C-alpha cells in the first residue's frame, strides 16, 4: 500500500516539474517577444563602440555590395553592384585621400585624389583613355572632341575652347544669346586666323596669317569681300584692294618692285585700268 502511494506521489511530482519547465519556456518566449516588440517600437539597438577588421554587406547573389576595411595607408570603403563589379572606392593613400569611380564594365572613368603637389581630378572615356585632368591649378583636355564650355546664367555657351577634327586649337566667343561673335582658329594650309561676326551670324571680317604675310578681309552684309589688305607676294610690299558690291576690284593700291607706289583704277566690270605712278626724277 505504501509502495503504491509513493509511486503516485512521484508521478505527481514529475507532472509538476514538466509543467514548471513549460512555464519557464513560455515565460522566456514571452519576454523575448516583448523585447523585440519594444525594440521595434523604440528603435534599433545602438552600439556605442564596435571593433572589427572588416565589414561586408552581402547582396542577393551572396557577394559583397558594401565593404568597409583597412589598408596599410588607412581606411577604405568599396561599393559593388550585384554582379560583384567594384563601382566606387573611397580610401586613404600615403598622400591623403582617394576617390575612384568605375563603370559597370569595370573601367575607371573618374578619379579624385591628393598628390604631393596638391589635388588632382581626372576623367577617362569608356576605353580607359584619359581625356581631362585638373591638377595644381592647370586644366588639361585631350581627345578629338575635347572642349571647355563657359555658360551664362541662361545656360547658353558664351565661350568655348576646343580642338577641331584636325587636332588644331579653337576659341569661340559668343554674345548673350549664344551667337558666335568672334573666333580664333587655324585655317588648313594657311595659318592662324581671327574671324568676327555680326549678331545675325554673318561673317564680317577675317584677319589671317599666310606664308607671304598678314591678310585682312572685310565683307559686306551679303558676305562679299569689299576691302582686302595684304602683302605682295612678289616684292613683300603692302597692297590694298577695294571691290564694288559684286566683289569686282575697282581700286588697287600697292608698291612695285622699285618700292614705288601704284594706284590702279578700274571700271565697274574690272576693265579699263588706269595707273597712277610717281614721275621719275620728280621731287616736289
Do 270 and 248 contact (CB within 8 A), yes or no? yes
User: How far apart are the C-alpha atoms of 230 and 247, rounded to whole Å?
Assistant: 16
pLDDT tens-digit series, residues 144-166 = 667 888 888 888 889 998 888 88
Residue 36 has pLDDT above 90, yes or no: no
Give the position of cell 604631393. 116
pTM: 0.58
Residue 7 has pLDDT above 90, yes or no: no
What are the DSSP calls for 141-169, one per residue? Answer: E-STT-EEEEE-TTS-EEEEEEE-TTS-E
pLDDT tens-digit series, residues 79-124 = 999 999 999 999 999 989 999 999 999 999 999 999 888 899 999 8
Band of pLDDT at residue 4, cut at 50, 70 and 90: low
Q: Which of 15-24, 136-145, 156-165, 273-282 has the highest mean pLDDT?
A: 156-165
User: How far apart are the C-alpha atoms of 205 and 229, rounded to whole Å?
Assistant: 11
pLDDT tens-digit series, residues 211-240 = 888 999 999 999 999 999 998 766 778 899
Which residue has better confidence, 231 or 33?
Answer: 231
Query: In terms of CATH architecture, what is 55-141?
Result: Alpha-Beta Complex (3.90)
Do 57 and 65 contact (CB within 8 A), yes or no? yes
Q: Which of 196, 204, 148, 146 lies closest to 175 in space, CA to CA?
A: 196
Band of pLDDT at residue 168, cut at 50, 70 and 90: confident
> According to the model, what pLDDT value does residue 80 have?
95
The overall average pLDDT reported for the chain is 84
Cell numbers describing residue 92: 586613404
CATH tag, 161-276: 3.90.930.1
Choose the weakest-confidence range: 35-49, 106-120, 130-144: 35-49
Q: Which of 241, 243, 234, 236 lies closest to 267 in space, CA to CA?
A: 243
Amino acid at each position: 500500500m505504501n509502495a503504491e502511494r509513493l509511486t503516485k506521489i512521484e508521478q505527481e511530482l514529475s507532472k509538476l516539474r514538466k509543467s514548471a519547465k513549460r512555464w519557464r519556456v513560455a515565460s522566456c518566449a514571452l519576454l523575448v517577444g516583448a523585447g523585440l516588440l519594444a525594440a521595434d517600437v523604440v528603435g534599433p539597438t545602438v552600439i556605442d563602440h564596435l571593433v572589427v577588421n572588416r565589414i561586408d554587406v552581402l547582396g542577393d547573389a551572396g557577394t559583397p555590395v558594401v565593404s568597409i576595411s583597412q589598408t596599410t595607408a588607412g581606411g577604405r570603403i568599396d561599393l559593388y553592384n550585384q554582379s560583384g563589379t567594384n563601382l566606387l572606392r573611397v580610401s586613404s593613400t600615403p598622400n591623403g585621400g582617394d576617390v575612384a569611380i568605375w563603370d559597370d564594365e569595370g573601367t575607371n572613368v573618374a578619379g579624385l585624389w591628393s598628390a604631393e603637389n596638391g589635388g588632382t581630378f581626372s576623367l577617362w572615356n569608356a576605353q580607359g583613355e584619359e581625356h581631362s585632368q585638373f591638377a595644381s591649378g592647370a586644366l588639361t583636355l585631350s581627345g578629338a572632341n575635347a572642349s571647355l564650355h563657359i555658360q551664362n546664367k541662361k545656360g547658353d555657351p558664351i565661350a568655348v575652347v576646343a580642338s577641331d577634327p584636325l587636332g588644331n586649337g579653337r576659341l569661340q566667343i559668343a554674345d548673350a544669346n549664344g551667337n558666335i561673335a568672334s573666333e580664333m582658329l587655324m585655317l588648313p594650309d594657311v595659318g592662324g586666323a581671327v574671324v568676327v561676326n555680326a549678331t545675325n551670324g554673318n561673317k564680317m571680317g577675317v584677319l589671317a596669317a599666310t606664308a607671304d604675310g598678314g591678310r585682312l578681309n572685310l565683307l559686306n552684309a551679303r558676305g562679299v569681300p569689299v576691302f582686302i589688305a595684304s602683302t605682295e607676294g612678289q616684292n613683300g610690299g603692302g597692297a590694298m584692294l577695294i571691290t564694288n558690291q559684286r566683289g569686282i576690284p575697282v581700286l588697287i593700291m600697292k608698291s612695285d618692285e622699285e618700292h614705288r607706289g601704284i594706284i590702279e583704277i578700274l571700271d565697274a566690270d574690272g576693265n579699263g585700268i588706269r595707273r597712277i605712278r610717281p614721275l621719275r626724277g620728280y621731287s616736289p
